[in-house]
Structure 1
Amino acid sequence: MHNTRPDGMAGTDEPSGVDQVFLSLERELAVFLRRARATSGELARAVHPELESAAYGLLVRLADAGQQRATDLAGYFGVGKATMSRQLRALEDLGLIAREPDPADGRAVLVRLTDEGHDRFSCVRNSRRAQYARQLASWDRREVAELARLLHRLNGEQDAEEGCGAAPAAGKSDRAGRGDRGGDGGSAGNG
């Protein structure tokens, strides 16, 4: 369990000389990310019982950005072509994605959600958003918007620092950093 006071500041049992604000931030992010990783598996299984948690983020990306090349997906998630190919093959075997020739380049292939993949993913995503609404019901909508804005800013700054240049459009920041791209706790590189 994390040890923060109600005002968000770390308790007094910390070593002196430590920046308490950043120590508190580190603790809260660690709790958030631990929960996000655990939730990722639950979300993946809700989409399909055989879906790996790491592949959930691919569904998020395809739902948000539309069809893409596998190489673009690999670059977005910061994984190798072999890892991306394995994850896409698993999603295809489950009937959640399909591959089609790229009309702009006959040598390339585009990956898209199938109707079944879209329906299953949308159902889980809508359920997750309803859960967020229940959990944050006591928050003012401006506070929720501010949290989303700050997370978007943090993700954008991490993207810029890492040089990946894959910052999402405003309102589409469903991720918690490079290890958790894809929102709702899942990613091609994580889960």
Structure 2
Amino acid sequence: MTAGTVPPAASSLDALRLVEHEVGVLMRRARRALTERARLVHPDLQAIGYLVLVQVEADGPVRGSGLCDVLHLDKGAVSRSVQHLLDLGLVDRTPDPDDGRATLLSVSDEGRRRVRAVDVARREMLGERFADWSREDLCDVAQTLRRYNASFGPEA
């Protein structure tokens, strides 16, 4: 059996090996895409910083501890990433009005502009890559990925 093909008489073990192989390919490509997106936002931005930045954009204003919970990262990694994002001018920090000891993070105007530009470029690229796929095919892939992800439990 070669990678990418499953003969009709393939065993369940062969099919699982193929799933494992394809997920590995997907993960490597996702890591590479994440690194590329980070560099498009800012040449000095690392992939983890990009993840933190887009999460702040999605949830902000947010505390650093909230980022740790959502991204499943330790406090040190989030703290270093946040400081780098602050240094790059991509996020802002303000006092938390509900707790004077805490601060809230939000995406700066410049950070938002850069993330949105990368998002537009990414959607255009995906549109080109999947131009010959039907809407139904894309929905089928999304549903299969959702089912795959759900088999591991809640994302939380």
Question: AA paired with 2:83?
Answer: R
1:4 corresponds to: 4
Q: Quick one: which of 21, 41, 45 aligns to 1:47?
A: 41
Decide which moves more: 76-85 or 89-98: 76-85
Cα deviation 1:66-102 (Å, max 9, x = unaligned):
3211001011111111111001000110000111111
Secondary structure of 1:112 counterpart: strand
Give the Cα–Cα distance (whole angstroms) in 2 for the partners of residues 58 and 96 of structure 1.
11
Bigger fraction of residues in helix? 2
1:112 corresponds to: 106
TM-score, normalised via structure 2 length? 0.88
Does structure 2 conserve the Cα–Cα contact (< 8 Å) formed by 1:43 and 1:124?
yes
Give the Cα–Cα distance (whole angstroms) in 2 for the partners of residues 10 and 41 of structure 1.
36
1:131 corresponds to: 125
- Summarize the alignment of residues 150-169 of structure 1 with structure 2, pairs less than 5 Å apart: 150-160=144-154, 166=156
Give the Cα–Cα distance (whole angstroms) in 2 for the partners of residues 68 and 10 of structure 1.
50
Q: What residue ranges of structure 2 are gaps of 5+ in the alignment?
A: none
1:114, CA displacement in angstroms? 0.2
Cα deviation 1:17-50 (Å, max 9, x = unaligned):
6612211111111001111111211111100000
2:63 corresponds to: 69
1:63, CA displacement in angstroms? 2.3
CA 1:71–1:25 in 2, change beyond 3 Å: closer, same or farther? same
Aligned residues: 155
The higher radius of gyration belongs to: 2
Q: What residue ranges of structure 1 are gaps of 5+ in the alignment?
A: 167-191
Give the Cα–Cα distance (whole angstroms) in 2 for the partners of residues 84 and 42 of structure 1.
20
Decide which moves more: 54-63 or 116-125: 54-63
2:25 corresponds to: 31
Identity of aligned residues (%): 34
CA 1:152–1:67 in 2, change beyond 3 Å: closer, same or farther? farther
Give the Cα–Cα distance (whole angstroms) in 2 for the partners of residues 10 and 76 of structure 1.
40
Does structure 2 conserve the Cα–Cα contact (< 8 Å) formed by 1:4 and 1:10?
no
